[in-house]
Amino acid sequence: MTVRTLHIITLLLLGIAANAQQLGVKWGDSYKNRKNSYITKIVGEDSDSYYAFRYSGGYVFSYVPHIWLDKYSGFSLQQEFSRPMEIPTRAGEEVSVEDMLQIKGNFILLTSYFNRDASKKSVFAYKVDTAGKVYTKNSREVDYIPSETRRDNRREHVTLSADSSALFFYHAEYDDKTGNERLMCRLVSGTDFSELFSKSIDIPYKKEQINIINGVSDVEGNFFVLLKISPLDKGIFFKDKANSSYLMLSISADGKVREYDLSLGTKSISEILLKRAGDGNILVAGFYSNQAKSEDNMAGSFYIRIDGKTGNISSKGVKDFDKDFLALFMSERKIDKGRELYKYSLNDFILRDDQGVILIAEQTFEDVVCFYDTRTGLQTCNTHFYYNDIIVISINPDGTVAWVRRIPKQQETINDDGLFSSYLMYKRDKTIYLLFNDDIRNFTQQSLPFGTFDAEPYNMTAPHKAQVAMVSIDSAGTVVKKPFFNARDSKIIIRPSLSYKANSDVTVIYGEYGNRFRLGKLLYTESPDSTKVE
């Protein structure tokens, strides 16, 4: 049996439950959105509540943003309060809200402003209690980027340390001595905001060449940062541009620096991320193209594991997609001509228990379409957002590929930033669930079989009429797709980007319809009506 045949068979298993239990959702009450504000993030939880961060970009004649902390019952998901939080001003300068995080049960608000006197962008941290009070007296500058003007678009990156007890800040800044860039890394205590470690590394490249992909850190002050190095353009008509290269820097607590050249020979890396495993090993994975001077195409996947103790590469695998898999996307003629997959984004990857990885990529792009009215002379432009097929790849610890699957999906919306597109991921044990807004016609017999080249899925263009699809993928790569709930009947459209993995086997999700919203909990249940909204 070929991979393509197996793929089609598994996608035809609509409505078949693998166990007595099934994934369901429990919804809280519906609430009207506060005027000119919206929930941007579900930030955390305590023993009996969940918390959401609400934001407004400011009112007329006011450049100061407004923020709120929303609290919801952990059991019923009923809103207990929505309280405004104070945003401290700095020397009368415009203050930007960067993020809100939770560390060891404490909320931390991050803001920034341009310090004219010191010519730098300063980032400040404030403690916030569960009642929404911002403690301004305990604030501290936790990071800064030297800047000549406020328009300098350099930005800081922040993530939590491996044990989630500290903040890891990293950014590139200009080195006025060399004229090149410098990588700055800081580890800041999540308790009192004191600086635990800081490292500065010279990078022999210009500002236009450096793009930080992501970074990880442990509490001992060992940093790993992944950089994309782009060649300098030689003018607007210079088309023979070389491919970008990727460099990973390892900076140990004792100051030792190690460079890792992540090149794949003649192959061009198109997507790449790094993660730190629980035992300290560093995992790097992504996609590549076999075509020269191409960063948008995808011909296969790669995986690199670096031993956290020795720093040596302990495993590496590079694998082209099989023809049977490519046949799910294109004709045999295009495959023979070397046509590759196009515009897939790797936003994250999952660590397997055995230190293999599962890559999840999605085809995403946007297009601006303009219309010229000859009668009025006016031009109207609309931005179309596309979120299409999902690819799931399981890679073994030795770098070999266990299986590859395609999840057919087409979503196209206009002028909405794709808020209701893409997918939401939920993982329990060794099963991955993908939820997304789908066209209801994709659940009729006329639309089958899924995954074949001759029967592409219908395009979801109206989220308020969508059917939420639930796709499950087990450790063997078996795929089952079935309807979850209907947006119009339930008066709920899910926002895939707004979800929060709780400490238990629960994921909190966000849904809205019109100007009303509600929170829900994804959980395992034996109830066949677990998606029903009361």
Label each residue of 89-153 as H, E or C. CECCECCEEEEEEEECCEEEEEEEEEECCCCEEEEEEEEECCCCCEEEEEEEEEEEEECCCCCCC
DSSP 3-state assignment of 280?
coil
Residues 117 and 30 in one domain: no
What φ, ψ does residue 356 adopt, rounded to 5°?
Answer: -80, 180
Residue 175 lies in a domain: yes
Cα gap 222→345, rounded to integer Å: 28
Q: What is the pLDDT of residues 286-308, one digit of tens each?
A: 999 998 777 889 999 999 999 98
275 and 351 in contact (C-beta within 8 Å)? yes
pLDDT at 115: 87
Cα gap 311→302, rounded to integer Å: 19
What φ, ψ does residue 412 adopt, rounded to 5°?
Answer: -140, 120
Residues 245 and 115 in one domain: yes
Residues 22 and 122 in one domain: no
pLDDT at 64: 66
Q: How confident is the model at residue 15 (pLDDT cuts 50, 70, 90)?
A: very low
Residues 129 and 8 in one domain: no
Q: How many CB atoms lie within 10 A of CB 375?
A: 5
**Two tokens, residue 291:** 């075509």
329 and 323 in contact (C-beta within 8 Å)? no
Q: What is the pLDDT of residues 79-115, one digit of tens each?
A: 999 999 988 877 767 788 999 999 988 899 999 988 8
Residues 2 and 146 in one domain: no
Give 495 or 529, the one with higher predicted confidence.
495
Direct distance between the N- and C-terminal alpha carbons of the chain, in angstroms, rounded to an integer:
45
Residue 328 lies in a domain: no
DSSP 3-state assignment of 388?
strand
Residues 155 and 236 in one domain: yes
Q: How confident is the model at residue 6 (pLDDT cuts 50, 70, 90)?
A: very low
As to burial, measured by CB atoms within 10 angstroms (0-12 exposed, 13-18 middle, 19+ buried), residue 75 is: exposed
- Mean pLDDT of the region 59-85: 85
207 and 178 in contact (C-beta within 8 Å)? no
Residue 490 lies in a domain: yes
Q: Going by C-beta distance under 8 Å and a sequence separation of 6 or more, which residues neighbour residue 92?
A: none
Give yes or no for residue 63 having a pLDDT over 80.
no
Q: What pairs with residue 366 in β-bridges?
A: 385
Cα gap 43→113, rounded to integer Å: 23
- Comparing CA positions, the residue from 239, 248, 297, 237 lying closest to residue 268 is 297
Give yes or no for residue 311 having a pLDDT over 70.
yes
Note the Cα 118 to chain centre separation in Å: 34
Cα gap 344→296, rounded to integer Å: 8
Residues 115 and 234 in one domain: yes
pLDDT at 75: 93
186 and 154 in contact (C-beta within 8 Å)? no
Domain boundary among 232, 261, 290: 261
pLDDT at 80: 96
Residue 275 lies in a domain: no
Q: What is the pLDDT of residues 490-510, one digit of tens each?
A: 999 999 999 999 887 899 999
Q: What is the pLDDT of residues 243-281, one digit of tens each?
A: 788 999 999 998 899 999 888 988 999 999 999 998 999
What φ, ψ does residue 106 adopt, rounded to 5°?
Answer: -100, 140
Residues 141 and 16 in one domain: no
Q: How many CB atoms lie within 10 A of CB 231?
A: 14
Distances (CA, A) of 29 to 140, 232, 518, 521, 524: 38, 54, 6, 12, 20
Residue 110 lies in a domain: yes
Domain boundary among 261, 279, 310: 261
pLDDT at 429: 87
pLDDT at 157: 95
Side chain identity at 455, as an amino acid letter? A
Distances (CA, A) of 91 to 64, 95, 135, 171: 13, 10, 18, 24
Residues 13 and 112 in one domain: no
Residues 110 and 26 in one domain: no
Residue 463 lies in a domain: yes
Number of H helices, E strands in the chain: 4, 36
Domain boundary among 228, 244, 261: 261
Residues 108 and 256 in one domain: yes
Residue 445 lies in a domain: yes
Residues 118 and 253 in one domain: yes
Domain membership of residue 219 as a residue range:
102-261
Q: How many domains does the chain have?
A: 2
522 and 426 in contact (C-beta within 8 Å)? yes
285 and 271 in contact (C-beta within 8 Å)? no
Q: What is the pLDDT of residues 115-161, one digit of tens each?
A: 888 889 999 999 999 999 999 887 899 999 998 766 777 888 999 99
Residue 527 lies in a domain: yes
Q: What is the pTM of this model?
A: 0.89
109 and 124 in contact (C-beta within 8 Å)? no
